Amino acid sequence: MKDALTQVTTEASGIFAGLKVADFTWAAAGPIVTKQLADNGATVIKVESFKHPDSIRLGGPFIDDKPGINRSGFFADFHSSKLGISVDMSNPAAIEIIRPLIEWADVVAESFRPGVMKKWGLDYASLKAINPRIVMLSSSLYGSEGPWARHPGYGAQGQALAGIHGMTGWPDRPPAMPKGAYSDSVSPRYALSALVAALIHREKTGEGQHVELSQIEATAQLLAPELLVYQVTGEEMTRAGDAKPGSVLHGVFPCQGEERWIALEAVTEAQARALQAILGLDGLDTSTVAGATATRDAFALMAECRAAGVPAGVANKASDLLEDEVLNAHHHFWPLDHAEMGRLNYNGPAYRFEKTPSALRFASPRLGEHTEAVMTRVLGFGAGDIARFKAEGLLQ
C-alpha cells in the first residue's frame, strides 16, 4: 500500500491538486475549511503542538467508547486526507522547522485567538517576509479588531452573540441551545469562498494577502431576514417554537419507537387535506396530530405523506444516516482505514465535480504520524537534523 505522502504529493487529481497548505487550525471552524482543500487534492500539512494537541482529539465520541488521543471520531471527520506533524510550538526554536514549511506553502490557515500566531513569529507580516506570495487565512470568533478580539470563546458563545439562541426555543421558555456550534459550521463556508477568491487574485496578480474572518459575523448572516423585518417594521422577531408563519401545520411529532420523530409541514390547503386523510383527522391541531402520529411507524408515515405530496422527513439518527438510501446513492460516505480506530465511514463533500472528482484518500492522522516523512521528504531535513530536534525537545 502506498503511504499517505506519496498519495498526496504524486497522485492528487482534485480541483486543488498542487495547492500546498500549512494548516495551523484547530477545533472545528478552521479544520472544516482545510478538509475541503485536502479532500479535493491539496497537500495539507496539519501542524499540532504535542504539548497542546488539537482540543477535539480529547472529545468524543471515541471508538469503542475508549478515550485516547488518536481515538476521537469528532477529530477524525474533520481531518481526512491530511498529513499530520507534531512540533513543540511553545519553543521559540520551532521556527527553524516552521520556516521551511512557510517557504513551501501557498496557504497558511489558522483559527486561534488574534495574537497567538504573532507570539510564534507567524503573523502575516512575518509570513510575507518569508514568502511574499503567501495567502494567510485567519478565522477567529470575534475577528481581529474590536474590544473582544482577544477574549476566549467557543461556538456556543458565538451563536449566542450572533442571535441564534434568541431565536431558538419557545416564547414562554428560556432560549434553547442548538446542538453543536453554528458558528463552527457556518463560518467555514464563508472562509473557503474568501480563500478561493484570494487565490484567484494571486493567480492574476502574483500578490498574496491576508484573509481575516469573524465567525460571529458569518453566523449573523443566517438572521438576515429577521434583521430586515426589525429595520422595516420595528417588530423584533423572537422564539416561536415550531410555528412558521404561512403554514397550516409545521412541527416535529412523535412516532412509534424510542426517540422516533417526524417533521411535517402543510403549506397549502391541498396538503392540509391530504395530511388529514392520512392521519384520519378532521383538523390539524398540533396536539391531535401528535396523538395520531404517535402510533405510526416514522418511515412508513414519511413514505405515505410523500406519495400524497405532503412534505415529511424522519428525524434521522446517526445509524439511520449511515444506511440512508439517498446518501448512499450519492456515495456520500467514504470508508477509510485508520491505524488505531479501524475502518470508519467519513463524511464526503456535498458537491460533485464532473471533471475533477473529490477523493478522500486516507484517514485522519494520528498525532505526529507523518512528522518524519514530512521533515525529510517535503522540508528537506536529514536524519541528523531530526535527531537534534528531538534532543532539543522540538519533536517527540
Which residues are identified as catalytic?
184
Q: Which helix (DSSP H) or strand (DSSP E) does residue 38 occupy? A: helix 31-38
Please report the DSSP string for 269-287 in residue order. Answer: HHHHHHHHHHHT-SS--HH
Rounded CA separation 257/142 (Å): 43
Closest CA to 157 of 147, 165, 167, 145: 165
The alpha-helical segments, DSSP class H, found in 150-223 are 155-161, 182-205, 215-220
Q: Nearest to residue 87, comparing CAs of 362, 378, 381, 372?
A: 372
- Taking the C-alpha atoms of residue 8 and residue 301, their distance in angstroms, rounded to an integer, is 46
Cα distance between residue 101 and residue 343, in whole Å: 31
Angle, to 10 degrees, between the axis of helix 298-307 and the axis of helix 269-279? 140
Q: Are strands 312-314 and 333-338 parallel, antiparallel or unpaired?
A: unpaired
C-alpha cell at position 310: 405532503
Contact yes or no for 194/213 (Cβ under 8 A): yes
Kindly state the cell numbers that stand for 249. 401545520
d(CA 84, CA 374): 9
What does DSSP say about strands 312-314 and 261-266: parallel, antiparallel, or unpaired?
A: antiparallel
For cell 442548538, name the residue: 178
Question: Could you give the CA distance from residue 209 to residue 218 in angstroms, rounded to a whole number?
Answer: 20
Number of H helices, E strands in the chain: 17, 11
